[in-house]
Amino acid sequence: MGKKRKYKTGKKRSGGSVAMAVVLIGSLAVLALAVGLLWPQLGDILGAPQPDDSSAPQSSPGTTTTTTPSVAGYYVTTDALNMRSGPGTEYEVLGVLEAGKAVEVLGAEGGWYRISLMGQTAYISAEYVVPSTAAPSTTTTATQAGTTTSPQYSDRYIDGDGMLQFDPAGRYVQAASYPDGAEIPWALLLVNDWNPMKEGYDESVTMKSVESKYAQVNSGQKVDARMYDDLIAMLEAGKAHNIGVQSSYRAYSHQKRLYWKKVEALKRRYSDPIVLQTKAGEEVKRPGFSEHNSGLAVDLYGSGNTLLNESFANTAAYAWLIEHCADYGFILRFPKGKEAVTGVVYEAWHFRYVGDPAVAHAIMDNGLCLEEYLEQNRK
């Protein structure tokens, strides 16, 4: 293979500096293009599914979001490295970052740096980056293209209460499918980015504390009392795998405080209210938009795995749950391949109570997600 590049052959006699400039501009374009190609998940930057658990559970190991402001700034990658969904190699790879690329580091978690490129939060190993004095123009351009002119912002708006909403056009809207104010069956309540849970709903529901032997990682777990017996029956039946509740109900009021605190903290970085709240929402779910606010969702541990990440899918506990959860009225809420419908990344640990085992089986046995089932069985 020839090491010489065409611009060095001297064919362009009009002047080396012009040729160099052409090559340089070409390289910048290639770099900008590479950013897009190497980050396939960022193709739909703001429509990119976020975890449903980005809501700072009261005390859950592995999901802390403490940041160290002193590390914040621009860095350059020293090698090609993976960009992951969380601070550790056990987290899903979201894309690959080439060597020599500039990234803006927002904070540190252990040996990992939290970064934001083109609107998505991700983590990279701190070992493969070195501080940079300035952000190279290519990355700045790419970032700006992704964050300030991205058309995906157009499907969001700020409502009369000052809360960021996602335009539900083209989506299943549960309230609209129960005409004349007909009551939605409590166990089928849909909570997602397009179907917020009403403020005050959870305060009208009786929550029941999960007995500590079924919540060995984080005590003080609560769920909707109406699903308690089915939950315990499931945990008992699967006790060979030591399945238990790691996190569960999170009060709307608590979520609300955390969310607006996050918005305040990011205010000086983002002036556009839609961008600001989108960024905040990537770290702390908007109140009413997490299924955990309803008391109908549980994040489960089992087989000694308490990581709340995709590795849970490799456990015997997970295999048992997938086979038996529907018998107790539970479903895997955020299956792989349904991210575009649920708006949430695959979460092997997050299970949802839907009540009737027949409904749960219709969902689990047919490879559906809750949104699809509700749409197919709309009122």
Tell me how far apart the alpha carbons of residues 142 and 118 are, in angstroms, rounded to a whole number: 7
| DSSP string of 191-209, one letter each residue | -BTTBPPPTTTGGGS-EEE
**Candidate list 104, 283, 347, 371, residue with the active-site label:** 347
Min dist CB 317 to Zn ion, Å, is 16
What is the CA angle 347-292-373, rounded to 5? 65
Question: Residue 294 CB, nearest distance to Zn ion (Å)?
Answer: 11
On whether the CB atoms of residues 65 and 59 are closer than 8 A, the answer is no
Token representation of residue 89 = 């190699």
Rounded to the nearest whole angstrom, what is the least distance from the CB of residue 292 to Zn ion in the complex? Answer: 6
Are 231 and 285 a contacting pair, CB within 8 Å?
Answer: no
Least distance (Å) from Zn ion to the CB of residue 342?
A: 12
CB of 351 to Zn ion, least distance (A): 8
Nearer to Zn ion, 230 or 299 (CB): 299
Which residue, 193 or 299, is less far from Zn ion as judged by CB?
299
Closest CA to 98 of 58, 138, 153: 138
Name which of 101 and 285 has its Cβ closer to Zn ion: 285
Binding site for Zn ion (CB under 5 A): 53, 299, 350
- DSSP collapsed to 3 states, 274-316: HHHHHHHHHHCCCCCCCHHHHCCEEEEEECCECCCCHHHHHCH
**Residue nearest Zn ion, Cβ-based:** 350
53 vs 104, which CB is nearer to Zn ion? Answer: 53
**Encoding tokens for residue 128?**
């493969």
* Residue number, 75 or 349, with CB nearest to Zn ion: 349
Q: Is 347 a residue of the active site?
A: yes
Catalytic residues: 347
